[in-house]
Amino acid sequence: MVTPLQSQVLLPERIAGLLGLSGTIGQIVGGLLGAFIIANLLLVQTAVAGPWAKRKITAAFTDRIAVNRVGPFGLVVIVADAVRLLSKELVIPEGVDRPAYDLGPLLVPFSALLGFAVIPMGNGIHLADPETGLVFAFAASSIASLGLVMMGYGSNNKYSLLGGLRAIASNIAYEIPLVVTAASVVVFTGTLQMSEIVAQQTQPLLSIAGVTIPQWFAIVNPFAFVLFVVANLAEVGRNPFDVPEAPTEIVAGFQTEYSSVYFVLIYLGEFIHIFLGGAIAATLFLGGPAGPFLPGFVWFTIKIWAFYLFTQWARSAIPRVRIDQFLDIGWKGMLVLSFANLALTAIIVGVIA
Amino acid sequence: MSSERDRPFVTDDTQVQTETRDARMTGGGADNRFNSKLREAFGSSPFILTKFDQFMNWVRGSSMFMLQFGIACCSIEMMHTYSVKHDLDRFAAGVPRASPRQADVIIVPGTIVSKFAPRMKRVYDQMPEPKFVVGMGSCTISGGPFQEGYNVIKGAEEVIPVDIHVPGCPPRPEALIYGVAKLQQRIAEGESSPVTVKPYELEQFDDLEQDEIVEKLADQIDEDDLVMRYNWADSP
Amino acid sequence: MSLEEPTPDDGAVETLPTGADEIAELLGDLVIDTETHVNAPGFVIRPDTVQETLRRLRDEAGFDHLSCVTAEEREDRYESIYHLTSFDDRQREVSVIVPTTKDDPVSESAAPVFRTADWHEREAYDLVGIDYDDHPDLRRILLPETWQGHPLSQNYDQDRPQIVTLDEWENPLAEDHREDEGDTMYINIGPHHPATHGVLHVKTVLDGEQVADVDPDIGYLHRCEEQMCQTKTYRHQIMPYPDRWDYASSGLLNEWAYARAAEDLNDIEVPEYAQIIRTMGSELCRIASHMLAVGTFALDVYGDFTAIFMYAMRDREKTQNILEDLTGQRMMFNYFRLGGVVWDLPEPRDEFFETVRDFLDDLPQALEEYHDLITGNEILQSRTIDTGVLPPEVAKSYGATGPVARGSGIDYDLRRDDPYGYYDELEWDVITEDGCDNFSRLLVRLREVEESAKIIEQCADLLEDWPEDEREIQANVPRTLKPDDDTEIYRAVEAAKGELGIYIRGDGTDKPGRFKIRSPCFSNLQTLPEMSTGEYIPDMVASLGSLDIVLGEVDR
């Protein structure tokens, strides 16, 4: 009944198979290599997104050109930016809370990378497929807010502290609607396993004039999709919900005191988080790596970049909400709507099934 | 060398260049900003390190984050330089960061007065090395039209070392872009300005010489407070 | 709140005393001597009757606008001059002169009557050295606390060493000023902060995310503008400085402030043709300045260098190009001369008019875009409506003028109320909004741009048709101007931020004896604590943005 979009063989097993290893060694080597490949795929994308694409996209929104002197289309600026930031002096301000100050920037990118372990990216690039995949992805990505709090608290700077506090507030307020909205998809699918969620979306919803529209949940339940994307914006801290960073209010929020390598890590983490947000949205609502003609991985990349583009668009066009409005929207708006959505979905699914 | 460092201004160009080169070659000296530990270990000639240094200079010259820092009239022209028509970001130098910890270049856009100089020095100190300074406008060269004012610092160089001066009141955006491009060129070629000894430094109050004014202020200022002392009479 | 009821004489406008004799009669024996300023009658009073005099003038004569406080040191005495006028009728003016002795310069404070006097008197204390009794908080305002001497007093030694402290450097939570039960946090916003529009330092006490107390600390750009002007000659040397007060491209408006005061002081008549050029140039400056205000306000609310900011910059770029064609400079124009302007419109004139017309034709579309992006945006509306509320009575008491006052519903615009230049010959409206909040102030600026465009269009029509042999750009002005000793004048114009006043006292030489600048931003900024106490941090930042201060003008 369900035609598997991708081979059910996960990446570590395939690598182990290619290397001719088996058993525990095969699992360990395959797992490590697989993780290495996936992490690098993402890091490369982040490197393109961070120093280059962000500038170019913002410039396009504001009638500018942005980097065009270094390399073709200014692409070599990625190398320059990365090396320059890494080679800068690492300033450790006086009186910082050492382990917290150092661990915070590490947690942010790693939590996001961890979340990618369960995301099916198409063409067999899928590190692990536990039965609780969706829950794992959310759990991993929320570790980041712990990192933000550590940074905010550890920096010994009041602006950082305010940023850290805002980060917790936003996380608590928007994590719940996010997960509840995702749960409405789970009600449809009846499983938390990512591969299964993707597989169910390949079923045709209806056919019009020979064009088959797949059963993507964004089409089945567009309301949930919108809710999810909005909550996701808050999760990744982008306009109109970028209150934890809020440059004109609290300088740079939790990252005010960070320089050099730590700053790179935070910067990386933010972008990987955007991609993770996009990846979860794609998996839950947009059929994961599914799509016509092109290979699955390309479609997956297109989808997460579309989400990235959306965050940048929002950043250019939408004012930031105030902290109290931000929490109001979260607690009074999103939470209610997401529960309503969940209840409705449950009723509809219950009646139909 | 130390006797020369006491001079507030070095006017001989060739000497400036010589000193810069010497400082870079010998490691110690006035400008230690580019010298890595590796260079100290291997000496100044090995091929790999030379290439590596060239690469690092290219990196630093190809991309820089600016500090979002506005003082006076020039900051308006600086904003124009960042934005639509002039677009400094074409030179990979148009990302203003609000936190000094993440900035490479501070453009000093305007008049510095006595109350602000300690704060600016502080901001400069908070930036991580290697850092560069573009002095924008006449006020950062000499105090400009306000030079005779009782409250005006006679140039940014009195407080922090300046790599590039862009003259004008205010300089046109084109001029600022030229200044930044020149700075990038200098960095890429491995030159940076010598750090001159500044007349005004932040000090702890009890480190100051005991004279009339210090005694007068003794009960107002805590001994550990950072202060800046202005000797206007010695100002250029 | 020490604010008293607003003037109770709304119904009895006709009976307000206007002539010098009537006011003298009202003040009775409070007056110990009279003087005549070029702009207004002056009444000398004793230093211990300041509050009584001002209160009587405010309540019974309708002088509800303390425009400026000038302090100066004369050969034999210190003087504080209170320039009073009325929001309803700007042409009624009176000066109250308070002399004090050299040995004991103590005078009664006017702060309980007019709240704007608070900062003005602090400035007088700081720069000149007059003490004010009964002042709520008399300390230095522009110069550092530890400064020695008062620089505008007569025997100030400019070469003496000074020591300035840096007390914002430490930032440990341990040194927090915690009260017993309250959990407030003290935080320094500025002088280097992305939202302070320059080098303003706001000492803020936070209660959670809310602002419990705000104390703007200014003086980080105090460039001794008054001293500079006092050491330069009237004819040519002062004119470059006004450009640098409000440097957000309102150069010509500032130049006009000086030109107006100096021309009235020296009885110079400006040719009509030059007046039209001045009017047109000034309105172009106003557009540029309001564009910057809108752009940076959007920057404060949106939080990044995003589309609105860039679009505002794009439109500013256009006005700057026109102004460059006209004056030869992008920002620091130095275009006005006493008695006219320095040169005629650029040749070929047709091309210049075409540029101006093109700009005016594109402007409605650009404004439409702003309204789409900013004022039509629900999030922005919810951010700005009913935040930073400044009731009209409070605004009047603080001497707020310009778009800030007009955003609070105060119908006050010097271009109409105290006409100068060519404004009274042209068709345009004064914009007011009754919201009193950040949104109203934003809206006032956007709508004023339309009005300015109207004025420019009419000026361009007039200039285009002006007969070629009557294009007189400068009156015949003597090479050296020496106003008589002891002639005093206070004149104001409507600059982009509000009422920009200049007080000049001639001392018989070719340089002013005292040159005092009444900056609109200085008075407007004083309202910040009023607007933001109890609000959230983002609202405080937005209010600051909506005040549109330029530190060069606040600190001078």
Closest CA to C494 of C434, C425, C404, C426: C404
Q: Does B124 touch chain C (CB under 8 A)?
A: no
| Whether B106 and B208 share a structural domain | no
- Dihedral angle sign, alpha carbons of residues B61, B65, B71, B72: positive
Instruction: Supply the pLDDT for residue C357.
Output: 92
Residues B64 and B105 in one domain: yes
* Number of helical (H) and strand (E) elements in chain A, helices listed first: 15, 2
Indicate yes or no: CB of B83 within 8 angstroms of CB of A62: yes
Q: Let me know whether B17 and B108 are in one domain.
A: yes
**Cα A149 to chain center, whole Å?**
19
Cβ of residue C222 closer than 8 Å to a chain B Cβ: yes
Q: What CATH number does residue B122 fall under? A: 3.40.50.12280
Using the Cβ of C119 and the Cβ atoms of chain A, whether some distance falls under 8 Å is answered with: no
Chain C residues close to B216, C-beta within 8 Å: 148
- Model confidence over C12-48: pLDDT tens digits? 445 677 777 788 888 887 888 888 888 888 889 888 8
Nearest partner of C188 among A107, B180, B68, A251, judged by Cα:
A251
Q: Domains in chain C, start-ordered, CATH in brackets?
A: 10-133 (3.30.460.80), 225-232+270-324+349-475+518-555 (1.10.645.10)
pLDDT of residue C503: 92
Cβ-based contacts of A61 with chain C (< 8 Å): 306-307
C172 with A324: Cβ contact below 8 A? no
Out of A31-35, A77-81, B10-14, C545-549, which region has the weakest mean confidence (pLDDT)?
B10-14
Q: Verify that B131 and B214 share a domain, yes or no.
A: no
Residue from the list A74, A255, A257 with its beta carbon closest to the beta carbon of B92: A74
**What DSSP letter does each residue of B42-72 carry, written as one string?**
H-S--HHHHHHHHHHHHHHHH--EEE----S
- How many angstroms separate the Cα of C86 from the Cα of each of C46, C50, C110, C323, C396? 23, 18, 17, 34, 10
Of A63, A249, A324, the CB nearest to C541: A249
- Going by the DSSP 8-state scheme, the letter that residue B228 receives in this structure is E
Q: Chain B within 8 Å of A90 (Cβ-Cβ)?
A: yes
Q: Do residue B54 and residue B145 come from a single domain?
A: yes
B120 lies in the same domain as B221: no
Distance from the C198 Cα atom to the nearest Cα atom in chain A, whole angstroms: 13
Strands C162-166 and B226-230: antiparallel
Catalogue the E-assigned strands of chain A. Answer: 204-208, 211-214
Compute the mean pLDDT over every residue in chain B, rounded to the nearest whole number. Answer: 77
B110 touches chain C (CB under 8 A): yes
Q: In this structure, what is the dihedral angle of CA atoms C358, C364, C368, C371, given to the nearest 10 degrees?
A: 120
CA dist B86 and A349 (Å) reads 57
- 3-state SS of B168-203 is CCCCCHHHHHHHHHHHHHHHHCCCCCCCCCCCCCEE
Whole-angstrom distance between the N-terminal and C-terminal Cα of chain B? 22
In degrees, rounded to 5, the angle at the alpha carbon of residue C246 between the alpha carbons of residues B146 and C86 is 120
Q: Note whether C388 and C437 are within 8 A (CB).
A: yes
> Is pLDDT larger for residue A76 or for residue A8?
A76
Ramachandran region, residue A191 (left: φ > 0; alpha: ψ -120 to 50; beta: rest) = beta
Nearest neighbour of C379 by CB, restricted to A64, A158, A318 = A318
Please tell me whether residues B18 and B83 are part of one structural domain. Answer: yes
Tell whether C382 is within 8 A of chain A (Cβ): yes
Give C131's strand partners.
Answer: C106
Which residue in chain A has the smallest CA separation from B101?
Answer: A259
| B208 lies in the same domain as B190 | no
Same domain, B176 and B207: no
Q: B87 and chain A: CB distance < 8 Å anywhere?
A: yes
**Tokens matching residue C3:** 């604010």
Domain count, chain B: 2
Tens-place pLDDT, residues A170-221: 888 888 888 889 888 888 888 888 888 888 887 777 777 777 777 788 877 8
- ipTM, two decimals: 0.85
Tokens of B189: 């070629």
In this structure, the answer to whether residues B212 and B177 fall within a common structural domain is no
C77 to chain B, any CB pair closer than 8 A? The answer is no
Cα separation, A301 vs C499, whole angstroms: 57
Give C-chain residues touching B233 at CB under 8 angstroms: 159-161
Chains with at least 3 CB pairs less than 8 angstroms from chain B: A, C
Contact B72, B110 (CB under 8 A): yes
Residues of chain A positioned with their CB less than 8 A from the CB of C309: 62
The Cα–Cα gap between C261 and C214 comes to 35
Q: What average pLDDT does range A104-121 have in this prediction?
A: 87
Percent with pLDDT over 70 in chain A: 96
> Residues C289-315, buried b or exposed e (16+ Cβ, 10 A)?
bbbbbbbbbbbbbbbbbbbbbbbbbbb
Positive or negative torsion for Cα A190, A195, A197, A201: negative
C303/A61 touch (CB, cutoff 8 Å), yes or no: no
C549 part of contact set with chain A, CB < 8 Å: no
* pLDDT number for residue C182: 59
**pLDDT for res C502:** 92
Pick among A86, A88, A266 to test the B interface (most B CBs inside 10 A): A88
Compute how many other C-beta atoms are within 10 angstroms of the C-beta atom of residue B176: 27
Q: What residues contact C163, with CB distance under 8 A and at least 6 apart?
A: B205, B208, B213, B214, B217, B221, B227, B228, B229, B230, C146
Measured in angstroms, the CA of C219 and the nearest CA of chain A are apart by 22
What residues contact residue C221 under an 8 Å CB cut-off, 6+ apart? B71, B72, B110, B111, B113, B116, C198, C199, C551, C552, C554, C555
What was the pLDDT predicted at C15?
Answer: 62
C-alpha distances in angstroms, A108 versus A77, A105, A151, A179?
24, 6, 10, 20
In C126-262, DSSP assigns E strands to: 131-133, 162-166, 184-189, 201-207, 210-217
How close is the nearest chain A Cα to the Cα of C172, in Å? 6
Q: Name which of B62, B84, B94 is nearest A80 (Cβ-Cβ).
A: B62
Question: What is the model's pLDDT at position C455?
Answer: 92
Identify any residues that bridge with C515 across adjacent strands, giving them in sequence order. C504
- Find where tokens 């990196």 sit: B59
Domain carrying residue B134: 1-200
Find chain C residues with C-beta within 8 A of A230's C-beta: none
CB contacts under 8 A, C 258-317 vs B, are: 292, 305, 309-311, 313-314, 316-317
Q: How confident is the model at residue C453, as a pLDDT?
A: 92
Is residue B33 within 8 A of residue B62, CB to CB? The reply is: no
Residue C456, pLDDT score: 92
Residues B15 and B104 in one domain: yes
Contact yes or no for B101 and A91 at CB 8 A: yes
Chain C, 126 to 155: residues with Cβ < 8 Å from chain B are 143-148, 151
**How many helices (H) and strands (E) in chain B?**
9, 7
What CA–CA distance (Å, rounded) separates B104 from B92? 12
Q: Summarize the confidence of residues B6-22 as an average pLDDT.
A: 51
pLDDT of B196 > 70? The answer is no
- Cβ distance of A69 and B83 shorter than 8 Å: no
Look at residue A325 and tell me whether its pLDDT is greater than 70.
yes
Q: What is the pTM of this model?
A: 0.86
User: A158-189 and A335-352 helices cross at what angle (nearest 10)?
Assistant: 10
For position C354, what pLDDT does the model report? Answer: 92
Judging contacts by C-beta atoms under 8 Å, the chain B residues touching residue C163 are 205, 208, 213-214, 217, 221, 227-230
DSSP annotation of B128 reads P
CB proximity list for C256: less than 8 A, separation 6 or greater: C278, C282, C336, C420, C421, C493
pLDDT by residue for chain C (556 residues), tens digit each?
344 444 444 444 456 777 777 888 888 878 888 888 888 888 898 888 888 888 888 888 888 888 889 998 888 889 899 998 988 888 888 889 899 988 888 888 888 888 898 899 999 998 898 888 888 888 888 888 888 888 888 888 888 888 888 876 554 344 455 555 557 777 888 788 877 777 888 888 888 788 888 888 888 888 888 888 999 998 888 988 988 888 887 788 999 999 999 998 888 889 999 999 999 999 999 999 999 888 888 888 876 767 888 888 888 889 989 999 998 888 888 899 888 888 888 888 889 999 999 999 999 998 998 888 888 888 888 888 888 888 998 998 898 998 999 999 888 888 888 888 888 888 888 888 888 888 999 999 999 999 999 999 999 999 888 888 888 888 888 888 888 888 889 999 998 888 999 999 988 888 898 899 999 989 999 898 888 888 888 888 888 888 888 888 888 8
Shared domain for B90 and B188, answered yes or no, is yes
Chain C residues closer than 8 Å to A251 by CB: 193-194
pLDDT at B2: 41
Q: Rounded to an integer, what distance in angstroms lies between the CA atom of residue B98 and that of residue B101?
A: 9
Q: Who among C162, C240, C313 is closest to B230 (CB)?
A: C162
Residue C176's closest CA among C209, C215, C206, C137? C206
